[in-house]
Amino acid sequence: MLVWIQKLVPALVACLVVACSGASGADGNTQGLSAKLTFDPQPHIGTVECTVALTNADGTPAQCTEVELEGNMNHAGMVPVFAAAEARGEGTFVAELEFTMGGDWLIFVRGKSPEGKAFEIVKDVTGVRRKPQADPASKEGGQ
Ligand SMILES: [Cu+2]
């Protein structure tokens, strides 16, 4: 029994490490595009609306398609979170991203460029923490 556990635990750990690092994969090709992420409210543990503004190299809005986000962290055993982004025109997309843990996140923005080529842009979102206890006067998520 003990031997069985001694064999099993390293195997499980190895499994988690592979699963986590495998998610980020090789360097994605940005296809010359840039992404700007804005969050409303500021990133906190829980679901946050993320607006992605995609621009071409010359700064004009990039008419991308099939945009999705993957949120990940740099430690083992992390389950990545995925969110499809909805097109709002002018290279702008909106997604509901769920931060499942506090800490420093990497957000992978993926989709198709205006020319139909797959792109991947990685953005840092650092210092995600517990949602501040809002004072009762401010309404979370109200617009
Ligand atoms: Cu994590």
Q: What's the 25 CA to ligand 1 centre distance in angstroms? A: 17
Cα–Cα separations (whole angstroms), residue 130 to 24, 70, 133: 25, 20, 9
Average pLDDT score over residue span 119-128: 96
Q: What is the pLDDT of residue 135?
A: 64
Overall pTM > 0.85: no
Average pLDDT score over residue span 73-89: 94
Higher pLDDT, 80 or 20: 80
Average pLDDT score over residue span 66-70: 98
> What is the per-residue pLDDT across 84-106, written as a single tens digit (0 to 9) for each?
999 999 999 999 999 999 999 99
For the chain, domain boundaries: 2-128
Q: Does domain 2-128 sit in CATH 2.60.40.10?
A: yes
Residue type, 128: V
Q: What's the 73 CA to ligand 1 centre distance in angstroms? A: 5
Q: What is the pLDDT of residue 92?
A: 98
Q: What's the 89 CA to ligand 1 centre distance in angstroms? A: 32
Q: What is the 3-state secondary structure (H, E, C) of the chain?
A: CHHHHHHHHHHHHHHHHHHHHHHHCCCCCCCCCEEEEEEECCCECEEEEEEEEEECCCCCECCCEEEEEEEEECCCCCCCEEEECEECCCCEEEEEEEECCCEEEEEEEEEECCCCCEEEEEEEEEEEECCCCCCCCCCCCCC
* Per-residue pLDDT at 57 exceeds 60: yes
Please give all residues whose CB falls under 5 A of ion ligand 1, grouped by chain where several chains appear: 73, 78, 101
